[in-house]
Amino acid sequence: MTTVSLDIRERVSELRDLIRGHDYLYYIKEQPDVSDAEYDRLMRELWKIEEENPGLVTPDSPTQRVAGAPAEGFDEVTHHRVMLSLSNAFDDDELRAWHERVAGLLETDQFDMMCELKFDGLAVALTYIEGVFVRGATRGNGVVGEDVTANLRTVNSIPLYLTADAHPDLLEVRGEVYFPKSRFDEFNAKREAQGLPTYVNPRNTASGSLRQLDPRMTAERPLDIFMYSIGYSEGGAVPDNQRDALEFLDSLGFKVNRYNRAFSSVGDVLDWYGYWREEFHNLDYGCDGLVVKVNRFDYQQHLGEVGREPRWAIAYKFPAEQAATTLLDVRFNVGRTGSINPYAVLEPVYVGGANVSRATLHNEDYIASKDLRIGDRVIVERAGEVIPQVVRPVIEERAGSETEVVMPSECPSCGEAIVRSGDEAMSYCANASCPAQLVRLMEHFVSRGAMDIEGLGEKWGAILIAQGLVGDVADLYYLKQQDLAQMNLLDAIAAARSSEFASALDKIGIPGVGKKTSGILADRYDSIPELIAAPKGELAAIGGVNERAADSIIAYFLDDDLRAAVDDRGGAFAELGLVDGPTDLYYVNKEHLLRPETLRQKSVSNLLGAIEKSKGQPLTRVLVALGIAHVG
């Protein structure tokens, strides 16, 4: 064993401290204090000593930012605490309403609010143990993210070692990785000169860069980061409010955005928002609004969250970017609940940081209210990751050759009749076995936000359905190896069997029941049988569940096909938290649940027919007219 002299050890320690100090001034404070040549000389000296004395190499050494071979994939990471999403405000009234709700819950309107820029990047969580960076993870679904430690180590503004002494033993901090606009333009210019394809926008490029399997690829992209919160800590004191927390992060050597202010009045918050609404375009990073937070952490804890959104914070978004283009066509697809969804085919236009050639048209009423016609010049808007939408036609530019949009009378997928109730904005395919519905449902079911079955998307879902291997989502859990020859999906499907009830409820596709409502229901009920047993009045009385959602929940389980699937596949659904095992299911009248034998008509088609004969309104399989007509 080679003995390393004390002089060499001391020189290594000195070099690391010098380089870390220069890195802090250059990447964090943007105040370089040495020339590039001098910095390179120090780094080369450290590289040489470590190469000659490999026993001195440590993970937090400045030489170890880019290290290791390409990974085969990313491991999952469970966050110390849930990384919450933010609810949005889009006008002054909505922000005032949020402030009033918070004041009501706190029983005082005397509280400070921290206003911070909302960065348009990729949220990450960084973990430090004894001051050493040990793990970095993407946000993922808020509970579980991907371990991208090796890639985050290449981001020079992330300290690998906290030089300040006053850090907790365990510290998790949250921030936003972004690609500076100026560096992005330089990066694209370099790629173009090399004959390589260029990238569309900094946000998506930052996200893709962070998920490269080879950290050397990530290191080639000049990513940056702003830290904005303390997620979790143990073994040391941390501030008790957001304003001091930002100063604390800065003192530890993290890069903190300087454009944050504390205000005690909504008027001041709105003035600050108004200033940045006009100025954010001049920033060298993507910004799509302000984040407004209750400053005191004890107030935040008292306010809590609903679903996975904190009551103590809100994002006040900047207006969406708009551009003019031509509406070339209107087409229709089928959603997972059978909804017939019109969408615009557009002449490609760059707006909101992306090239847009498709945009939502919402529903038939939206098209009619805007008087949209094929061939129109139209205004399209897109904000952040929001789906682009057609805002209005430019009527003054009409030439007279434009044509009206005609809604289909038959499902574009299965050819069955399309139905629409009098009080619904959407039209629906009434065929419960519609292939397009099943494909969309499977897409949602296996998505990262639901069951998260890796590798099973629209392509494989369509193949499995076409080959008759899957007739409903429960069939996924009964597939055999011979069914999936060379698809390599069985392990991914098996890994997704365990899922919390809220996620399971969200993924089965009840109209009007998304992630937030699913979370609320999961707090109240433990399984589908318990949910089915709840009268409409009880459901509608739950905070966050409106009467329409209650109707949809009850009506959804009128579907014989779904009931048969749950009865037949009790074991599979039990693993999803849907049922405790095979169970008797129920039909429903206006308020109460009835056992199947109490109804003469047991199929959805017969029920719909009976409703029509009783002068009720014909509805879809998932929105049977509860309370409009009695059956049986």
pLDDT in tens, 270-282: 999 999 999 998 9
How large a percentage of the chain has pLDDT more than 70?
A: 72
Last residue of a domain, one of 301, 317, 333: 317
The verdict on 470 and 609 lying in the same domain is yes
170 vs 352: which has the higher pLDDT: 170
pTM: 0.60
The verdict on 370 and 469 lying in the same domain is no
The verdict on 103 and 158 lying in the same domain is yes
| Banded pLDDT at 502 (limits 50, 70, 90) | low
* pLDDT at residue 597, rounded to an integer: 35
Residue 600 lies in a domain: yes
Please tell me the chain's helix, strand, coil percentages from 3-state DSSP, rounded to the nearest 5. Answer: 35, 20, 40
Angstrom distances, CA of residue 214 to CA of 121, 150, 207, 210, 221 = 20, 9, 14, 10, 12
Strand partners, 233: 171
Residues in contact with 106: Cβ distance below 8 Å, sequence separation at least 6, in sequence order? 294, 299, 302, 303
For residue 118, indicate whether it is catalytic: yes
The verdict on 212 and 326 lying in the same domain is no
The verdict on 176 and 251 lying in the same domain is yes
Residue 532 lies in a domain: yes
DSSP per residue, 122-174: EEEEEEEETTEEEEEEE-TTSSEEEB-HHHHTT-TTS-SB---S---SEEEEE
Q: Is the pLDDT of residue 125 over 90?
A: yes
Which domain, by its residues, includes 31? 6-64
DSSP letter (8 states) at residue 80: S
- Does residue 57 contact residue 50 with C-beta atoms inside 8 Å? yes
What does the pLDDT average to over 474-485? Answer: 54
Residue 381 lies in a domain: yes
330-335: which pairs have CB atoms within 8 A and are 24 or more residues apart?
330/361, 330/367, 330/372, 330/374, 330/405, 332/407, 332/408, 332/412, 333/412, 333/436, 333/440, 334/411, 334/412, 334/413, 334/429, 334/434, 334/436, 334/437, 334/440, 335/437, 335/440
Spatial distance between the Cα atoms of 251 and 32, rounded to a whole number of angstroms? 18
For the ranges 56-70, 383-397, 583-597, the lowest mean pLDDT is seen at 583-597
The verdict on 167 and 274 lying in the same domain is yes
Last residue of a domain, one of 259, 293, 317: 317
Angstrom distances, CA of residue 14 to CA of 49, 290, 412 = 12, 42, 70
| Active-site entry in 29, 48, 118, 370 | 118
> Tens of pLDDT along 571-622?
434 443 433 333 332 333 333 333 333 333 333 344 434 333 333 333 222 2
> Tens of pLDDT along 198-231?
887 888 888 888 888 888 888 889 999 999 999 9
> Tens of pLDDT along 3-27?
667 888 888 888 988 888 888 887 7
The verdict on 258 and 158 lying in the same domain is yes
Q: Say if residue 543 is exposed, middle or buried (CB neighbours under 10 Å; 0-12, 13-18, 19+).
A: exposed
Reduced to 3 states, what is the DSSP secondary structure of residue 94?
Answer: helix
Spatial distance between the Cα atoms of 327 and 63, rounded to a whole number of angstroms? 54
Q: Pick from 198, 164, 167: which is nearest to 184 by CA? A: 198
For the ranges 373-377, 511-515, 628-632, the lowest mean pLDDT is seen at 628-632
- CATH classification at residue 591: 1.10.150.20
The verdict on 519 and 472 lying in the same domain is yes
DSSP letter (8 states) at residue 26: I
- CATH classification at residue 132: 3.30.470.30
Strand partners, 135: 127
* pLDDT at residue 475, rounded to an integer: 61
- Does residue 154 contact residue 62 with C-beta atoms inside 8 Å? no
